[in-house]
Amino acid sequence: MSLRVYDHLTRTKRPFAPVRPGRVGMYVCGLTVQDQPHLGHMYAFVACDMVRRYLEHLGYEVTHVQNFTDIDDKIIERARREGSTVAAVAERNMTAYHEAAAALRIEPAHHYPRVTEHVPDIVRFVGRLLEKGFAYAAGGDVYFRVRSWTGYGQLSGRDVDAMRSGVRIAIGDHKEDPLDFALWKAAPDHEPGWPSPWGRGRPGWHIECSAMAARYLGDHFDFHGGGRDLLFPHHENELAQSRCATGQPFVNHWLHNGLLCLGKSKMSKSDGNFLSMDELLRSHPAAVLRFFLLNAHFRSQLDFSEERLREATAGFDRLQRGARRLLAVLAAIDAGRDRPLPAGLASAAGGALAEAAASRRRRFFAAMDDDFNSGAAIGELFGLVRDLNQYLAETGGRGLDAGPLGAVRDLLVEADGILGIFPQGLGGLTETRSPAPEAVAALCEAREQARARRDWAGADSLRAQIREIGWEVIDTPGGPRLSPRPPAP
Ligand SMILES: [Zn+2]
């Protein structure tokens, strides 16, 4: 199977074919930095990070561009209220974004274009639309003429005539038609503004993404990410601007992640219904938050609550425990504490584990190939941990099969590269395990000495200690053997 991706314009999944062989261009609508990011924002960025990692895993060279809207009415208002400057408010919140992104293990974008650094690109882009008759200047503003492009409304599934009845022209507007939207707005002297052929002003919100995407990715590229709430009007308008200015298809796939809901409504800054990342990261491990965001298909709605987060914590712990148990067993084989079966031989349980690992791997990649379904892919990892637990229960952790256990480890490492769920990678898990296998071996040795002294109470107490840290000591004619304890059901 190969990668299939949902296509918004045709509403179907189709095989992925890059615009340029071997390369992928991905533009993600970034943060408007009047405030620090909340978890709803980060859902989009984590989803796009997973998509990017998967595409890189498939061998594509991905160029990831994510903008910062660092000038708009809300940032100006924020700076005024704080008695600060627009630049200071923007810098502070961009830093907050980068901190949250690093905590959530989001790979840095290749470019973070800011509106204030791309005004000439934006002015040129508006100029192209004016030249072609898709826009008009009026009273120092420039508007996009919605009815000049018949494709308008297709992306979000809206009918222009039906929309019209609900829209009124605001007083002071210079629009020909209430549906038209601003590409450039005149700015009063006391507010930030830039010179343009139409007078001093600022770019409208939508035009920045069309202009900056074209600057870094060309007129036609592969992926465009952002929350579902950006579908209309933002992405509809971006598409209209770009199609009309360039005559190219703009993007092949829109990566609209579902909404993140808190209580009954969407997590939203403007409604005051949100959890800032700052707050969340103080009370929850970043790894659990990332796991929570990825443990579903990214296009689906996520309901956030303490209950859901507890479930995510329990699920994440289950995966981590499974991975640690595996690493401990492999370490025991490496250290010669367990004598594995000779190469070429496998126990019945080992054969079953090898088959299970191969089938989990196929299904993991089938899920990722199905429009990046990370939730279903994670489901296969849970299955893999169950397979491993069953194997350890059946073998009692003795006469282990190094090959099949290695296949389980390889799949976990590969999956972690794509999903980024283990904070320090799979190897990092051994370091956080409190008792090192060496410590277990030392306790076992101490117990042997106690037994030799016929100190049965001491030996029993040492056995209990070993058990407490997750291992079982089994007395055999050949001496004691250590095995990881089967997990609690
Ligand atoms: Zn955008």
Domain end call among 272, 304, 336: 304
Does 61 fall in a domain? yes
Same domain? 293 vs 326: no
Give residue 235 CA to ligand 1 midpoint distance, Å.
Answer: 7
Grade residue 431 by pLDDT with cuts at 50, 70 and 90.
very low
Bridge partners of residue 425, in order along the sequence = 423
Same domain? 27 vs 109: yes
Give residue 247 CA to ligand 1 midpoint distance, Å.
Answer: 19
- At 486 the pLDDT is 61
Grade residue 432 by pLDDT with cuts at 50, 70 and 90.
very low
Dist CA 437 CA 338 (whole Å): 12
Give residue 164 CA to ligand 1 midpoint distance, Å.
Answer: 24
User: Is residue 355 a contact partner of residue 383, using CB atoms and an 8 Å limit?
Assistant: no
Nearest to residue 323, comparing CAs of 363, 289, 315, 292? 315
- Is there a cis peptide before residue 192, judged by omega within 30 degrees of 0? no
User: Is residue 192 a contact partner of residue 74, using CB atoms and an 8 Å limit?
Assistant: no
Most confident range, picked from 1-15, 104-118, 160-174: 104-118
Dist CA 24 CA 314 (whole Å): 36
Does 5 fall in a domain? no
Same domain? 137 vs 240: yes
Give residue 260 CA to ligand 1 midpoint distance, Å.
Answer: 18
Give residue 374 CA to ligand 1 midpoint distance, Å.
Answer: 24
Give residue 107 CA to ligand 1 midpoint distance, Å.
Answer: 19
Grade residue 262 by pLDDT with cuts at 50, 70 and 90.
confident
Same domain? 179 vs 85: yes
Give residue 489 CA to ligand 1 midpoint distance, Å.
Answer: 47
Same domain? 445 vs 400: no
Give residue 306 CA to ligand 1 midpoint distance, Å.
Answer: 31
Dist CA 210 CA 187 (whole Å): 21
Same domain? 338 vs 298: no
Q: Is the dihedral of CA 110, 114, 117, 121 positive or negative?
A: positive
Q: What is the pLDDT of residues 122-173, one digit of tens each?
A: 999 999 999 999 999 999 999 999 999 999 999 999 998 888 766 666 656 7
- At 226 the pLDDT is 96
Give residue 261 CA to ligand 1 midpoint distance, Å.
Answer: 21
User: Is residue 293 a contact partner of residue 302, using CB atoms and an 8 Å limit?
Assistant: yes
Rounded to the nearest angstrom, the gap between the alpha carbon of residue 433 and the centroid of all alpha carbons in its chain is: 27
In b/e form, how buried is each residue of 310-326, taking b as 16+ CB within 10 angstroms?
eebbebbebbbbbbbbb
Q: What is the pLDDT of residues 411-420, one digit of tens each?
A: 999 999 999 9
Same domain? 205 vs 276: yes
Does 329 fall in a domain? yes
Nearest to residue 12, comparing CAs of 370, 376, 301, 373? 370
Give residue 234 CA to ligand 1 midpoint distance, Å.
Answer: 6
Does 424 fall in a domain? yes
Dist CA 476 CA 401 (whole Å): 20
Give residue 421 CA to ligand 1 midpoint distance, Å.
Answer: 27
- At 435 the pLDDT is 43
∠ CA 62-66-68 to the nearest 5 degrees? 165
Residue 351 sits in a domain of what CATH number? 1.10.730
Domain end call among 304, 330, 354: 304
Same domain? 48 vs 114: yes
Rounded to the nearest angstrom, the gap between the alpha carbon of residue 244 and the centroid of all alpha carbons in its chain is: 31
- At 364 the pLDDT is 98
Same domain? 28 vs 101: yes
Range name among 46-50, 128-132, 402-406 with the lowest pLDDT average = 402-406
User: Is residue 41 a contact partner of residue 3, using CB atoms and an 8 Å limit?
Assistant: no
Q: What is the pLDDT of residues 353-386, one digit of tens each?
A: 999 999 999 999 999 999 999 999 999 999 999 9
Give residue 29 CA to ligand 1 midpoint distance, Å.
Answer: 4
Give residue 136 CA to ligand 1 midpoint distance, Å.
Answer: 22
Q: What is the pLDDT of residues 199-215, one digit of tens each?
A: 999 999 899 999 999 99
Residue 410's domain spans which residues? 308-432
Indicate if the pLDDT at residue 469 is higher than 90.
no
- At 434 the pLDDT is 39
Nearest to residue 9, comparing CAs of 191, 205, 236, 273? 236
Dist CA 367 CA 1 (whole Å): 10
Give residue 216 CA to ligand 1 midpoint distance, Å.
Answer: 14
Q: How many domains does the chain have?
A: 3
Domain end call among 392, 416, 432: 432
Nearest to residue 261, comparing CAs of 270, 273, 271, 269? 273
User: Is residue 401 a contact partner of residue 349, using CB atoms and an 8 Å limit?
Assistant: yes
